[in-house]
Structure 1
Amino acid sequence: MMVRAFAATSPDAPLAPFELERRETRDDDVVIDILYCGVCHTDLHLARNHGGFTTYPIVPGHEIIGRVREVGPQVTRFGVGDLVGVGCMVDSCQQCAPCRHGWEQNCSAGATFTYNSVDKRDGMQTYGGYSDAITVTENFVLSLPAELDPAGAAPLLCAGITTWAPLHRWNVREGSRVAVIGLGGLGHMALKLAKALGAEVSLFTRSAGKEADAFRLGADEVILSGAPEQMAAAAGRFDVIIDTVPYDHDVNPYLPTLALEGVLVLVGYMGPLGTPVNAGAIVGGRRAITGSFIGGVSETQQMLDFCGANGIVSDVEILPIQDINQAYERMLKSDVKYRFVIDMASLAE
């Protein structure tokens, strides 16, 4: 099946119209006409080969909402016309311990990611959601609750699950005290989700002037991380801190704000921390620094169902695919509140 898409053909090339071939429908496949696709910082990083492992041409996009066009004969959970989602993965071995536990993103054989990956069944390159349609094995397709706006729901497939997973893992509930570092695509979802779970929620930010937005999104308090008196007043308060900062930064100022046995969870940055961590702040308070990477399929469906029940979607700016290169430039300047979403009907233009 030939479909239209936008692709980058080199690190310096702008994304441009591209035609690609989707595989023949397997017995367990769901063929999806894509309606909306969120734009993630990972899309930009991989399109420009910031990590050094991009395979070109690359069609980004792993926050996909669409409608089922066709199903294979063994598919039982979906039918033609269903509104569905696809996130960061499209397959895994399904046999290893992480997969059996529902952590397909940590598959021992390596998950097959939605783009810039290789399908282990046929060896074909995977291409993402900046396209007309996608074909995905049934086990990695998600049901979209009818209550959710499809465009606003698209970023839930990455930004949503990335912040939901640590909140779920560390049992955030009514009475929990949660702080979020950074107010971007991930941070705004962390505020919304933590508040809906019943937590007392604070935002750490370096920038004054974010109070109104933070309170609207669910924060009970805004703490300026560069204000010593505000940081001192927060000492020993938080059970969980969700750190959404996407670049190298000093985590030490936040460690004293953790309660006894509190945990700081890195979700935005995957590289080396340049500033050594003060072990005393960890040992003395039985605290921990840990990380979390997207989430498994069942956990993602749980998150979507929770969002449906609580009316939670991302704050989005909808754009045509023809504006994707300008959107990338705006993302580099943090000029988006809080997530771009592509209306894929624009591909027909």
Structure 2
Amino acid sequence: MCVYVCVCVCVCERERERERERMAKSPEEEHPQNAFGWAARDASGILSPFNFSRRENGDDDVTLKVLYCGVCHSDLHFLRNDWGFTRYPVVPGHEIVGVVTKIGENVKKFKVGDRVGVGVIVGSCKTCEACQQDLESYCTKKIFTYGSTYHDGTRTYGGYSDVVVADQRYILRFPDNLPSDSGAPLLCAGITVYSAMKYYGMTEPGKHLGVVGLGWSWPCCCEVWEGLWAEGYCY
């Protein structure tokens, strides 16, 4: 019993030491892949050049060169710490469109050169009931594209950068007929609208839909229901 306890104590101490070493590393040293982005250092929300690093592409990962990234109002809230939990420095951006430059061994849905998108979530437990139903936004262990802690204990940084690495589960293929620049906001406001419409059966012809408030979701609603033959109203 004494030997077992001693071994456990030694193992725990080694883990704590590794954690201290990791915490001592700068954003540029955390991972082997160099990255460049625009980050806010404080609640002023002012963005400035920021050198950091991305993890190496894993077996289930896709690396993409960022082409466009939309600006969501939640980015502004996060930059200014309006919600009270921002950790600086922060690289925002969760409406990301890019071109695949590298894929992992287990990735079959994408290939180098594909145009893809990454939204607000880049990780989850993958095992809970919500994840099993492809409802990762309800997972209690979901990982946001920026401002979260990833599985390896390092911080996530968003799409205001030149390169992104993400698990294939959270990547979407961009249709050939959808422009990258105007299509990027669909990864947030667009999917918010479409998901609700799909869930409540509002994608069928002849339906009538009302939207309360005139935010960015409103023009997305217009585009979606126009394509689905629904009729919409704004209140």
Say yes or no: TM over 0.5: yes
Counterpart position of 2:144: 113
- Residue type of the partner of 1:177? H
Counterpart position of 2:120: 88
Contact 1:7-1:60 within 8 A present in 2 as well = yes
Check 1:174–1:49 CA distance in 2 against 1; reply closer, same or farther (3 A cut).
same
Counterpart position of 1:286: none
User: In the aligned structure 1, how far is the partner of 2:112 from the partner of 2:191?
Assistant: 26
User: In the aligned structure 2, how far is the partner of 1:174 from the partner of 1:75?
Assistant: 37
- Residue type of the partner of 1:150? S
Counterpart position of 1:146: 176
Is 1:72 the counterpart of 2:104? The answer is yes
Gaps of 5+ in 1: 205-349
Encode CA deviations 1:135-180: one digit per residue, 9 max, x unaligned: 0011111100101111111001001001111111110121211112
User: In the aligned structure 2, how far is the partner of 1:13 from the partner of 1:47?
Assistant: 5
Is 1:174 the counterpart of 2:205? The answer is yes
How big is the shift at 1:199? 1.6
How big is the shift at 1:94? 0.9
- Residue type of the partner of 2:206? G
- State how 1:208-219 maps to structure 2 within 5 Å: none
14-23 or 180-189: bigger deviation: 180-189
Match of 1:47 among 55, 72, 79: 79
Is 1:127 the counterpart of 2:161? The answer is no
Contact 2:45-2:76 within 8 A present in 1 as well = no
Encode CA deviations 1:72-120: one digit per residue, 9 max, x unaligned: 1221111111100000011111110001111011113x21110001102
Counterpart position of 2:229: 198
Counterpart position of 1:23: 55
User: In the aligned structure 1, how far is the partner of 2:36 from the partner of 2:166?
Assistant: 17
Match of 2:215 among 177, 184, 188: 184
Is 1:8 the counterpart of 2:51? The answer is no
Contact 1:46-1:54 within 8 A present in 2 as well = yes
Encode CA deviations 1:40-98: one digit per residue, 9 max, x unaligned: 00100001000001111100000000000111122111111110000001111111000
The alignment's C-alpha RMSD in Å is: 1.0
Task: Give the TM-score of the pair, scaled to structure 2.
Answer: 0.83
- Residue type of the partner of 1:112? I
How big is the shift at 1:23? 0.7
Contact 1:180-1:191 within 8 A present in 2 as well = no
How big is the shift at 1:181? 2.3
Gaps of 5+ in 2: 1-32
Counterpart position of 2:15: none
Report the identity percentage: 43
User: In the aligned structure 2, how far is the partner of 1:83 from the partner of 1:113?
Assistant: 21
User: In the aligned structure 2, how far is the partner of 1:45 from the partner of 1:15?
Assistant: 13
- Residue type of the partner of 2:87? T
How big is the shift at 1:13? 4.7
How big is the shift at 1:195? 2.7
User: In the aligned structure 2, how far is the partner of 1:31 from the partner of 1:13?
Assistant: 28
Counterpart position of 2:10: none
Paired residues, number? 202
Aligned-partner SS, 1:124: coil
User: In the aligned structure 2, how far is the partner of 1:184 from the partner of 1:107?
Assistant: 26
- Residue type of the partner of 1:137? D
Counterpart position of 2:12: none
Counterpart position of 1:157: 187
- State how 1:240-279 maps to structure 2 within 5 Å: none
Check 1:70–1:179 CA distance in 2 against 1; reply closer, same or farther (3 A cut).
same
